[in-house]
């Protein structure tokens, strides 16, 4: 269908399913085991309801914000998703170019199909990029990668902490890994690639499962970028992150792809914000809480922001958009979200994101504890 028939982010998923190879669809869409967490990520948003305010002169609406000190036209960033060339020959560059045009921030994945430098070279001088890091067993490889990224102007480091082993994504595992040229330019130093267990396992064998809290000071010593831990789910860990001196956390279950049955970021948000409030100022300008998983609409993001998130990540939404339509698809997806923000904020009675507050949502159906 023509691009202008896309009315929401779900529409891109339907088109992508039709155009992707069976293997690419399996890798992109799959989640772990029963896919309970995957479905829950989406379902959780339906347990939060708006309590809109009226008569506030909502003529002009501004959904822009600052994410880790970087300007963003929306409170949404493009989260890291590996292997963009499985979906489209230009891979991650579709995201980079669209993000530049619309003032959105892209998180570059360690396991991108395009090389890190190709992505940075395709970016604009005033464009902000973040980096997602899988930590190698060979710390020299990791150190070089991080320091190179900082030198090339990357603005923040998101260390993925929920993947000491890749989750059991059975749809993906059923597809034998055949190298079709779309593979990641994976960091040197990896070894023992097994080609018979699906794409995810084949590309991830270099990841260090020994990563621990004691390693955080080392990351602090090799870079001055803000460090954010991606994949936090418990209030205890959120407090440990704060006390470890990192600059933020992403409440995420990795799009349901890691530990199945882990609660959604949205449900964890309320408990984690409450825990953080006991240990310091809130909102804390030195510690950001992000969430991802199941975000497909501006309304989702507004709910998360009202409950204390600084910004939200979108993975599959943009992945499916470029799989279906390349860069134009990503641009259209951002336009759709931008229009949704304008309308939702106007009807909600908030002109800027600063006017959002917890009393504009009823989150009583979330199972907080
Ligand atoms: C991911 N995600 C991910 N995260 C990460 O830290 N490193 C990675 O390499 C990847 N790769 C990846 C591939 C694919 C195909 C998907 C769908 C996801 C997780 C991603 O950053 C994010 O947490 C989720 O995608 C958010 O959920 P939604 O928006 O996809 O529902």
pLDDT digits (tens, 9 = 90+) for 12-25: 999 999 999 999 99
State the catalytic residue, choosing from 28, 88, 90, 162.
162
Mean pLDDT (the chain, rounded): 94
Residue 134 among the catalytic residues: yes
pLDDT tens track for 188-242: 334 344 555 677 777 788 999 999 999 999 999 999 999 999 999 999 999 999 9
Residue 148 among the catalytic residues: no
Residue nearest atom 23 of ligand 1, based on CA coordinates: 254
What was the pLDDT predicted at 268? 98
Radius of gyration of the chain (CA): 19
167 lines ligand 1 (CB under 6 A): no
What is d(CA 216, CA 218) in angstroms, rounded to the nearest whole number?
A: 5
Q: What is the mean pLDDT of residues 159-170?
A: 95
pLDDT tens track for 284-320: 999 999 999 999 999 999 999 999 999 999 999 999 9
Query: What percentage of the chain exceeds 90 in pLDDT?
Result: 90
What is d(CA 199, CA 207) in angstroms, rounded to the nearest whole number?
A: 14
What was the pLDDT predicted at 197? 65
Taking the CA of residue 317 as reference, the ligand 1 atom at the shortest distance is: 29
pTM of the model: 0.96
Residues 194/202, Cβ–Cβ less than 8 Å: yes
What was the pLDDT predicted at 368? 79
Which residue from 28, 254, 268, 333 has its CB within 8 A of the most atoms of ligand 1, so it is best to mutate? 254
Q: What is 6-52 written as a DSSP string?
A: --SHHHHHHHHHHHS-HHHHHHHH--STT-HHHHHHHHHGGG-EE--
Query: What percentage of the chain exceeds 70 in pLDDT?
Result: 94
Residue 45 among the catalytic residues: no
Going from the Cα of 21 to the center of ligand 1, the distance in angstroms, rounded, reads 19
What is d(CA 200, CA 172) in angstroms, rounded to the nearest whole number?
A: 7
pLDDT tens track for 113-144: 999 999 999 999 999 999 999 999 999 999 99
ipTM: 1.00
């Amino acid at each position: 269908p023509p691009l202008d028939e896309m009315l929401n982010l779900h529409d891109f998923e339907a088109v992508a399913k039709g155009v992707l190879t069976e293997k690419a669809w399996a890798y992109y869409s799959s989640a772990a085991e029963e896919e309970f967490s995957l479905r829950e990520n989406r379902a959780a948003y339906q347990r939060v309801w708006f309590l809109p305010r009226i008569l506030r002169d909502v003529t002009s609406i501004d959904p822009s914000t600052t994410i880790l000190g970087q300007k963003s036209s929306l409170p949404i960033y493009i989260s890291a998703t590996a292997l963009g060339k499985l979906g489209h020959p230009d891979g991650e560059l579709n995201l980079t170019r669209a993000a530049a045009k619309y003032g959105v921030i892209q998180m570059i994945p360690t396991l991108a199909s395009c090389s890190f430098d190709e992505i940075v070279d395709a970016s604009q001088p005033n464009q902000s990029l973040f980096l997602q890091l899988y930590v190698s067993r060979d710390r020299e490889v990791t150190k070089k990668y991080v320091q190179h990224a900082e030198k090339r102007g990357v603005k923040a480091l998101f260390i993925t902490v929920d993947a000491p082993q890749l989750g059991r994504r059975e749809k993906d595992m059923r597809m034998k890994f055949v190298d079709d040229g779309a593979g990641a330019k994976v960091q040197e130093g990896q070894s023992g690639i097994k080609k018979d267990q699906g794409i995810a396992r084949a590309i991830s064998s270099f990841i260090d499962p020994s990563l621990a809290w004691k390693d955080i000071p080392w990351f602090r010593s090799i870079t001055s970028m803000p460090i954010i831990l991606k994949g936090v789910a418990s209030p205890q860990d959120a407090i440990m992150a704060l006390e470890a001196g990192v600059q933020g956390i992403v409440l995420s279950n990795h799009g349901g792809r890691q530990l199945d049955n882990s609660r959604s970021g949205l449900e964890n948000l309320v408990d984690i914000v409450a825990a953080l409030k006991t240990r310091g100022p809130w909102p804390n300008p030195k510690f950001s809480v992000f969430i991802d998983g199941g975000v497909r609409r501006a309304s989702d993001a507004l709910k998360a922001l009202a409950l204390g998130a600084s910004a939200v990540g979108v993975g599959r939404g943009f992945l499916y958009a470029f799989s279906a339509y390349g860069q134009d698809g990503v641009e259209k997806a951002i336009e759709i979200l931008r229009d949704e923000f304008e309308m939702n904020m106007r009807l909600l009675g908030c002109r800027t994101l600063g006017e959002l507050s917890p009393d504009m949502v009823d989150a009583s159906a979330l199972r907080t504890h």
